[in-house]
Homo-oligomer: A and B are copies of this chain.
Amino acid sequence: MVRFKQRDIISIRHFNKEELLYILDLAKQMEQMDNTELLKGKVLASLFFEPSTRTRLSFESSMKRLGGSVIGFAESGVSSAAKGESLSDSIKIVEGYCDIIVLRHYLEGSAQLAADVATIPVINAGDGANQHPTQTFLDLYTIQKTKGTLEGLTIGFLGDLKYGRTVHSLAYALSHFGAEMYFISPPSLQLPNDFIDVLKDRKVKCHENESLRGISRRLDVIYCTRIQKERFADPVEFEKVRGIYRLSRAMLEEVGIKNDLKVLHPLPRVDEMDDSLDATDFAVYFHQARNGVPVRKAILAAVLGAIA
């Protein structure tokens, strides 16, 4: 039996296939539902030690659209961390003020630490380069919604696959659904070997490539991420790879794609995906961002026990 009540949401790896589907199904119900009072009287503490508009605003909107309320901060400068307080102390105090904590923190492992300390549920809204499970839930929801299913898809991950936490989490989650995966990146930003091993252990067919050319026609989904200039010791190297990993309408037409390809991106984008794509049916990244609301409503309602 699926049980989310009072559960911490720390890593996508903590959920089995049935649990993933349960949340996606609940998100679908949330999307069709009008505003409710499901979480009336409940208080969410939104603790963002690092700024994030998208995640913070969609959590806060979700809570409010369910009738709940929100306290918190949007950056660490106004938190008591600035006075040298430990995260553990901060959590022990704030949990007295609320019913659930959403935590964004720059340190890996901080969300698990908070969950260990708190007696109320903690939702990880990103802990450094580590995990960001609600992003993965909304990525899954977007794929399921736009492709009709999560089963048996061929997914291309494009860009910085070494540091991108969203890529690692989504690839892991899709391993429950018999996905075939293409990892397309410059050599210096390839998926870590031990993570490839994890996926292979989970029976995922993995391929590594340096370009979309030759494989693009096989892809049902492209999950694009940003390549950051700072990752390159030599700016000339960056300029070379840039063109290869910059998605545009013309580039996709040139390499060839399926008619029903969907392109996702966790956003914000800077210049790795130009806006010539925005008006096409391929582009689902804005829908993806907006799916943050039904998905986070589902998670909040389930964890707070407002839904059976």
- Whether B79 and A51, one on each chain, are in contact in the complex, defined by CB atoms closer than 8 angstroms, is yes
- Whether A84 and B270, one on each chain, are in contact in the complex, defined by CB atoms closer than 8 angstroms, is yes
Q: Is A16 an interface residue (CB 8 A)?
A: no
Within 8 A of B (CB), among A53-71: 53-54, 57-58, 60-61, 64-65, 69, 71
Q: Give Cα A77 to B77, complex, Å.
A: 11
Within 8 A of B (CB), among A65-87: 65, 69, 71-75, 77-80, 82-85
* Chain B residues with CB under 8 A of A98: 61
Interface of A (DSSP majority class): helix
Q: Give Cα A194 to B67, complex, Å.
A: 51
- Whether A97 and B269, one on each chain, are in contact in the complex, defined by CB atoms closer than 8 angstroms, is no
- Whether B96 and A53, one on each chain, are in contact in the complex, defined by CB atoms closer than 8 angstroms, is no
Q: Is A252 an interface residue (CB 8 A)?
A: no
CB distance from A118 to the nearest CB of B (A): 12
CB distance from A286 to the nearest CB of B (A): 5
- Whether B94 and A53, one on each chain, are in contact in the complex, defined by CB atoms closer than 8 angstroms, is yes
Give the one of A51, A71, A75, A290 with max B CB within 10 A. Answer: A71
In the complex, what residue of chain B is closest to A79 when comparing beta carbons?
B53
Q: Is A268 an interface residue (CB 8 A)?
A: yes
- Whether B74 and A78, one on each chain, are in contact in the complex, defined by CB atoms closer than 8 angstroms, is yes
CB distance from A47 to the nearest CB of B (A): 9
- Whether B73 and A61, one on each chain, are in contact in the complex, defined by CB atoms closer than 8 angstroms, is no
- Whether B85 and A267, one on each chain, are in contact in the complex, defined by CB atoms closer than 8 angstroms, is yes
Which of B51, B69, B79, B292 sits near A82, CB closer than 8 Å?
A: B51
Q: Is A90 an interface residue (CB 8 A)?
A: yes
* Chain B residues with CB under 8 A of A53: 73, 78-80, 90, 94
Q: Can you offer 14 A-B residue contacts whose CB atoms are under 8 A?
A: A35-B41, A48-B78, A53-B94, A54-B93, A57-B71, A57-B72, A57-B94, A64-B69, A64-B71, A84-B270, A85-B269, A85-B270, A88-B275, A96-B292
